[in-house]
Each structure stands twice: as structure tokens, then as C-alpha cells.
């Protein structure tokens, strides 16, 4: 049941009518209905793993209560570790079992020691990387006395399985989301209208930009050995936009659907292509994951290494980003991708240039800002060639192919007209987001104050609507981040 | 050490690390209200505070801090 499928839209329409018209009187009843709908949504995708979601949610729920109740600090710590180990353990088993077990078996085999382990054909339960992080964050916050555990199992289970964000985030923290489940929600027309605009922008980015980019990049990446280096460079550029449009489009939809239900979900992207350096980029890209990693991985690491000065900081950043990369899946390409981003930080740390950079509030960027933006974009684009590759050898093959004089040739593509149209849509995304960069999302409009705003807004909305109808890729392509 | 003295010293430490001239110091301000006080500079500030006051924080204590008032109280507690 993808957000961009007819069945989801039918499900959501029926759900929202009942949610606001029938079950809106008592918040407890509304929460039970929301929880059941979330489990129905998950079961539609993955009924086998629904039980896993429920049991691990219950484990986090009861561990949270016991951590808070117990006075003995050692026992408290043990309970926290049990929670972390069950979450990370499940993640390691489902996501990384073969990654660790195969090299180990090879090593023992070369030493003539044979074990009875074998590789397993394991299916990754959807959303496990996201709900595990929510559960672990919840327990750590209770342990640190930052929050009190909820005693209502329905509220906690709904927090972990809230269907708009269940499969791919944003990873909301318990202290921002649980209070919203505890209080009565009222339908707000202007919030809902703004949420609907965000959904429309998400649909545009997913259906018109990401899915059409995918058709081109798939062809170019599949045939790159026979094409000039410029084609691979174009593929790399389009893939960067595709990944962004796909994941931020999904996030816009998830946040928009949540707002229709009366929830404010954390922002996941803040117009990352206008970042002035790589530190700025990571404050704007996959924000909910970066915030989680900063709070629960980077901070403890940098605290441990704090007496070693800048070397300790660099070390903490490298470990943090290697884990960010590895979070995406059991592949050395992701580890290298994370390591590379960690390395990008080194010059910034060494020169004390980490502080947040603010863009000047002007219609167009200054030439220095533009150079910095293009530089940051190029670094990201370069790293995503590794992210895209299925193996390290393929990543190196991309790089060896791209370093060639044929990079100055006119790129060869499968269909020049459709490529130009897709590039045009990419430019639309970049322009609209640039002009709206101070807003929460690209289609957030303040009340219309003059005719100019009314006409420009109407023109943009009708353009997006017709672009989705005429150019929206069909076939319900899944979201790229569902695999993580 | 008196609270007012701690605030004064703390202001000097934070201002020099974040390179800000007129740092507003009150109990309610938090890191996100001060430009440049991010996850990285936070740890630099903590390390400098530890060195200056000759105290040692625990990670759990730092995790509980939500504003400047908490930090000042924690230093006060450690010193006395």
C-alpha cells in the first residue's frame, strides 16, 4: 500500500472520515482506532512481521516502565542494555546476519575449522530500522531522566507504529510525539490545507521527478561502459536529484498525511542543496536520522574523547558517519559512503568552520554562496556514486570510467526529449525550493496579500497538477528508502 | 564559588569559544538560542568548563541539561 497508490488513497479517505467524524469524541478511542489502522497498514505490507513489531514494541514499553520504577542504578543500566541489545540484536540478525557470518565462515574455513552455520535467505522486516531507533531512543531518554515513560500501552504502541511514518520515518522523538497522542486533537482546516499542499509537493517530487529520473539513470548506469563519461556524469547528477526527490517526496507525504490527522511530525529535509558546506548539508538532509545519531552516538563518543582535542572530534565524527552509512544496509559501499562523508568534515573541524552558515535573505544567492552550494552538491554527488553502486568494485569502475576526456563530450542518452523534460522538472524543484527555502515546505503559502501572489500560486498549483497527470510515472514504483 | 561569579566565568568561556561579543546570559536560554552552539561546540564548551572549574561531569548529568540555568546549577553543585 504505497502512498502513491489508489488503494492507499482509498484506505486513507475511509480512515480519515471515521477518524474525524466517528472516533473523535474520546482521544483514547481515537488512539485505538489509529493503532488498529496502523497495524492493518503494516499487515497489508508484511503480515509475517506484524507480530515482531508488536512484541518488540511491548518489550520497549515494559522496559521503559521498569527502568523508571527501579531505584537501583545498576539494575536500571542492565534493563537499558537489555532493551538496546534486543533492538540492535534484531536489526543485526535481519539486516546484517549474512554480512557478518559469511566472512567469518570463510576465515574459519581457511583455518580448516568448520562450523555448522550457513547463510540465510533473510527477508528484512519493513520499517525495522526506523521503529528500532524510536524504541531505543525512548529507553535512553527514560534512563537519562529526560522523559517519563507512558503507562498507556496504546499510546506507546501507536508512537512506534504510527502508519504515516512507520516504513521510512521521519524518526520522531518520544518527547515530541507522545504528548500529541495524549491530548485531544481537533481538526484544523488551515493545518490540513497546508498538509495537503505538502502532500501535493511530495507527489510531484516522487511521481514526476524521482520516477522519471529513475528511468533515465537506470539506463545510463546499466550501459555506462558503452557511453561517454559525460553520460555517467549526467546519471550521477540526476541520481542525486532522484534520491532527494524520492526520499524528501516521501517525507513530505508522510508529514502531510500526519498533519491531516492533527500531528506535527519532525522535519526530515530542509532544502539540502542550498547547504554551504558538508556540516550544513547534514543539518538539512535526513534530519531525523542525523539528530538521532548526534544525540545517541556522536555525543557519547565526543564526550568520551573530549580530552583529546580535535583528533577526538574527528574520530567521533568518522565513527558516527560510518554507522550512518552502515545503517543503510550490509554493504561495504554504504560504509565507504559514510566514511567519505566523515572525511569531508575533517577540514571543517581543523579550521573551526563547523558553525551553522546562514544564507543571506536575498532573491538570488551571492556568487560566493553559489560556489559553496555547487561545491557541496558536487561532494554529495560524488559520494552518491558509491552509494548507488552494488559493490565496491562497481563503484571504482564508475570512477575509473568518469575520469576520461569523454567527460567533455555531449552526453548520450536513450531519449533526448524526455531527458530534457526531466531536467526541466529538476530545475523547477530547485527553483521553487530556493524561493521557499525559509518555509517549512516548498508549497507553504501565507495568506494571499495581493493579486500577484494569488496568480503565481494558482499558476504553480495548476502546473503541478497537470504535470502529475501528464508526466507522473505510472506503475506504483516503491520508495527508495523502503529497502533501508 | 558564588553563582554570580560562575555566571561571569561561564560567559567568558562560552563567548571565547563561540566568538560572540554580547552573549545574553540568563537561566532560561538554551543552546539553540545561541548562534554557533551546536553538538560539536557543546562538547568543546563542556571540556573548557571542566578544565576551568576543575570539575568532571558525567554524561548522564549532561544529558539532563536543558538550559543555562541547569548548567550553572550543576557547576555550583560540583563546586560545593
From the list A145, A298, A307, the residue facing B64 with the nearest CB is A145
Whether B16 contacts chain A with CB within 8 A: no
CA–chain centroid gap for A72, Å, is 38
Residue A144: list chain B partners with CB under 8 A: 60, 63-64
Residue B46 at interface with chain A, using a CB cutoff of 8 Å:
yes
Is B39 in contact with A294 (Cβ distance < 8 A)?
Answer: yes
Q: Enter the C-alpha cell of residue B20.
A: 560572540
Distance separating alpha carbons of residues A433 and A155, to the nearest angstrom: 35
Do A380 and A422 contact (CB within 8 A), yes or no?
no
pLDDT of residue A475: 61
Question: Of all residues in chain A, what percent carry a pLDDT higher than 90?
Answer: 73
Grid coordinates of A253:
507525504
Q: Summarize pLDDT for A438-461 with one digit per residue, the tens.
A: 999 999 886 655 667 778 888 889
Q: What's the pLDDT score for residue A483?
A: 67
The answer to whether residues A198 and A445 touch, using CB atoms and an 8 Å cutoff, is no
pLDDT tens by residue, A375-429? 999 999 999 999 999 999 999 999 999 998 888 888 888 888 999 999 999 999 9
CA distance A141 to chain B (A): 9
Q: How many CB atoms lie within 10 A of CB B7?
A: 17
For A151, the 3-state DSSP assignment is coil
Sign of torsion, CA A68 A71 A76 A78?
negative
For A142, which residue in chain B has the nearest alpha carbon?
Answer: B64
Q: How many residues does this entry show for chain A?
A: 484
Report residue B19's pLDDT band, with 50, 70 and 90 as the boundaries: confident
- What mean pLDDT comes out for the span B41-45? 88
Tell me if chain A has a CB within 8 Å of the CB of B56: no
Write the DSSP assignment of A75-106 as a string of letters. HHHHHHHHHHHHHHHHHIIIIIHHHHHHHHHH
Rg (CA), chain B: 11
B33 touching chain A per CB within 8 A = no
Residues 6+ apart with CB under 8 A from A459: none
Output the nine-digit C-alpha cell for A193: 490545507
| Cell numbers representing residue A272 in the block | 539540502
**Which of B14, B17, B36, B39 to mutate: most A Cβ within 10 Å?**
B39
| Domain architecture of chain B: domains with CATH | 3-79 (1.10.1200.10)
Any A CB within 8 A of B47 CB: yes
Q: Which three cell numbers stand for residue B1?
A: 564559588
**Largest CA-CA distance found in chain B, in angstroms, rounded:** 31
pLDDT bin (cut points 50, 70, 90) of residue B3 is confident
Which residues of chain B are within 8 Å of residue A351 when distances are taken between CB atoms? none
The span from the CA of A441 to the CA of B64, in Å, is 32
Contact A355 B41 (CB under 8 A): yes
| Sign (positive or negative) of CA dihedral A18, A24, A29, A33 | positive
- Interface touch A303/B38, C-beta < 8 Å: no
Q: Quote the CA–CA distance of A436 and A456 in Å, as a whole number.
A: 13
Residue B54 φ then ψ, to 5°: 55, 55
| Secondary structure percentages of chain B, helix, strand, coil, to 5 | 65, 0, 35
Q: How many residue pairs bridge chain A and chain B with CB atoms within 8 Å of each other?
A: 42
pLDDT for the residue A471: 86
Segment B3-27 shows an average pLDDT of: 88
pLDDT in single tens digits along all 484 residues of chain A: 788 888 999 999 999 999 999 999 999 999 999 999 999 999 998 888 999 999 999 999 999 999 999 989 899 999 999 999 999 999 999 888 888 887 777 787 787 777 666 666 777 888 999 999 999 999 999 999 889 999 999 999 999 999 999 999 899 999 999 999 999 999 999 999 999 999 999 999 999 999 999 999 999 999 999 999 999 999 999 999 999 999 999 999 999 999 999 999 999 999 999 999 999 999 999 999 999 999 999 999 999 998 888 899 999 999 999 999 999 988 999 999 999 999 999 999 888 766 566 777 788 889 999 999 999 999 999 999 999 999 999 999 999 999 988 888 888 888 889 999 999 999 999 999 999 999 999 998 866 556 677 788 888 899 999 999 888 876 666 777 766 6
Amino acid at each position: 500500500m504505497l502512498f502513491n497508490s489508489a488503494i492507499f488513497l482509498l484506505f486513507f479517505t475511509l480512515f480519515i472520515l471515521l477518524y474525524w467524524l466517528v472516533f473523535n469524541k474520546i482521544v483514547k478511542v481515537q488512539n485505538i482506532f489509529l493503532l488498529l489502522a496502523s497495524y492493518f497498514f503494516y499487515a497489508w505490507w508484511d503480515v509475517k512481521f506484524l507480530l515482531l513489531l508488536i512484541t518488540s514494541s511491548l518489550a520497549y514499553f515494559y522496559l521503559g516502565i521498569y527502568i523508571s520504577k527501579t531505584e537501583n542504578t545498576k539494575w536500571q543500566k542492565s534493563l537499558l542494555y537489555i532493551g538496546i541489545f534486543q533492538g540492535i540484536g534484531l536489526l543485526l540478525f535481519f539486516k546484517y546476519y549474512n554480512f557478518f557470518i559469511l566472512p567469518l565462515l570463510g576465515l574459519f574455513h581457511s583455518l580448516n575449522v568448520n562450523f555448522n552455520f550457513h547463510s540465510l535467505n533473510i527477508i528484512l522486516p519493513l520499517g525495522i530500522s526506523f521503529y528500532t531507533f524510536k524504541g531505543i531512543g525512548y529507553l535512553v531518554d527514560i534512563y537519562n531522566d529526560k522523559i517519563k515513560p507512558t503507562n498507556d500501552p496504546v499510546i506507546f504502541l501507536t508512537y512506534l507504529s504510527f502508519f504515516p511514518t512507520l516504513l521510512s520515518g521521519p524518526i520522531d522523538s518520544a518527547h515530541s510525539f507522545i504528548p500529541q497522542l495524549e491530548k485531544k486533537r481537533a481538526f484544523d482546516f488551515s493545518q490540513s490545507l497546508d498538509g495537503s499542499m505538502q502532500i501535493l509537493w511530495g507527489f510531484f517530487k516522487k511521481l514526476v521527478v524521482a520516477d522519471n529520473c529513475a528511468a533515465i539513470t537506470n539506463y545510463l548506469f546499466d550501459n555506462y561502459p558503452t557511453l561517454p563519461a559525460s553520460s555517467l556524469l549526467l546519471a550521477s547528477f540526476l541520481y542525486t536529484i532522484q534520491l532527494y526527490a524520492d526520499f524528501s517526496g516521501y517525507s513530505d507525504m508522510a508529514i502531510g498525511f500526519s498533519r491531516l490527522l492533527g500531528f506535527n511530525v519532525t522535519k526530515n529535509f530542509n532544502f539540502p542543496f542550498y547547504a554551504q558546506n558538508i556540516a550544513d548539508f547534514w543539518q538539512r538532509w535526513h534530519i531525523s536520522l542525523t539528530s538521532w545519531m548526534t544525540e545517541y552516538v556522536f555525543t557519547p563518543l565526543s564526550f568520551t574523547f573530549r580530552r583529546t582535542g580535535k583528533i577526538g572530534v574527528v574520530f567521533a565524527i568518522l565513527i558516527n558517519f560510518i554507522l550512518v552509512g552502515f545503517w543503510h544496509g550490509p554493504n561495504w559501499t554504504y560504509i565507504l559512503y559514510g566514511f567519505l562523508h566523515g572525511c569531508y568534515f575533517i577540514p571543517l573541524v581543523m579550521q573551526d568552520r563547523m558553525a551553522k552558515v546562514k544564507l543571506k535573505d536575498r532573491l538570488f544567492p551571492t556568487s560566493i554562496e553559489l560556489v559553496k552550494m555547487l561545491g557541496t552538491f558536487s561532494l554529495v554527488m560524488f559520494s552518491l556514486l558509491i552509494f548507488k553502486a552494488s559493490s565496491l568494485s562497481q563503484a571504482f569502475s564508475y570512477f575509473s570510467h568518469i575520469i576520461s576526456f569523454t567527460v567533455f563530450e555531449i552526453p548520450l542518452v536513450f531519449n533526448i526529449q524526455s531527458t530534457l523534460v526531466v531536467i526541466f522538472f529538476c530545475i523547477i524543484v530547485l527553483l521553487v525550493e530556493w524561493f521557499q527555502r525559509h518555509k517549512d515546505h516548498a508549497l507553504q503559502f501565507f495568506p494571499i496579500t495581493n493579486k500577484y501572489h494569488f496568480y503565481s500560486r494558482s499558476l504553480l498549483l495548476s502546473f503541478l497538477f497537470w504535470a502529475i497527470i501528464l508526466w507522473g510515472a505510472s506503475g506504483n514504483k516503491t520508495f527508495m528508502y523502503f529497502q533501508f | 564559588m558564588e553563582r554570580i561569579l560562575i555566571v561571569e566565568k561561564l560567559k567568558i568561556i562560552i563567548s571565547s569559544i563561540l566568538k560572540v561579543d554580547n552573549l545574553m546570559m540568563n537561566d532560561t536560554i538554551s543552546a539553540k538560542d545561541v548562534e554557533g552552539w551546536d553538538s560539536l561546540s557543546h562538547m568543546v564548551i563542556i571540556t573548557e568548563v571542566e578544565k576551568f572549574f576543575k570539575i568532571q561531569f558525567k554524561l548522564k548529568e549532561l544529558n539532563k541539561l536543558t538550559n543555562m540555568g541547569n548548567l550553572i546549577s550543576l557547576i555550583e553543585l560540583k563546586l560545593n
